[in-house]
Amino acid sequence: MSIRQTLKLTTGGDLVLLLAMVALTVGGLWSLGWSSPHGALAVIEVEGSPREHLSLRVDRVLSIHTERGTNIVEIRDGRIRMVDASCPNRVCVTQGWIRHRWEEIVCLPHRVTIRIRGLEEEYDAITR
């Protein structure tokens, strides 16, 4: 059967079904963060294990307490930063805001990492 014949036999119901499926797929991907060039989610890890998963769409400030000290994290306007830390060198605080999927903030003294995550990683590793 040719494509032309198939199209002739396609009913309005088929088209509705097709459009619904496309809409569901696009909507699903959108909600998972493909819409944004930036990551939709920040993961805060302590000693390499995830402690918090935070949406970058919700502005907030929170404290991360570890046995080595405390880090204060702030999310605002789709970005995240370490706003304060009780670590000695505060390199993590001076790093400022991050928002791209490949970026990370590392507080080596406290072993706290902030990573940005999306549905699909753009880069497999970063040399820095």
Partner 1 sequence: MMRPRFILFIALGGSLLWSGCDQGPHVVSRTQYLMGTLVTVTLVAPSEEEAAAAFEDAFQELRRLDQMLTTFDSGSEVNRVNAAAGKRPVPVSPELIAVMEEALAVARLTEGAFDPTVGPLTALWGFEQAEPAVPAESAITAARRLVNYRDVILDRAKGTIFLKRAGMRLDLGGIGKGYAAARVAHLLRERGFPGGIVAAAGDLQIFGRKGDRPWRIGIQHPRDRNRLLGSLMATDQAISTSGDYERYFERGGQRYHHLLDPKTGRPARDCQSVTVVTAEGSRADALATGLFVLGPERAKALLRRLPGVEAILMDAQGKAWVTPGLEGAIEGFAP
Site for partner 1 (CB under 8 A): how many residues?
Answer: 37
- The residue within the footprint of partner 1, chosen from 34, 69, 102, 117 (CB under 8 A), is 102
According to the binding rule CB under 8 A, does residue 31 interact with partner 1? no
Which strands form 60-66's sheet, in the order they lie side by side? 60-66, 69-76, 79-85
Query: Which of 13, 6, 3, 37 has its CA nearest to residue 122?
Result: 37
- Report the residue number, 84 or 99, with the smaller CB distance to partner 1: 99
What span, in angstroms and rounded, lies between the C-alpha atoms of 34 and 45? 23
Q: Which residues are bridge partners to 65 per DSSP?
A: 70
89 secondary structure, DSSP code: S
Query: Which residues in the 54-93 window bind partner 1 by CB under 8 A?
Result: 88-89, 91
- Positions that interact with partner 1 (CB under 8 A): 1, 5-6, 9-11, 13-14, 17-18, 21, 25, 45, 47-48, 88-89, 91, 95-100, 102-103, 106, 108, 111, 113, 122-128
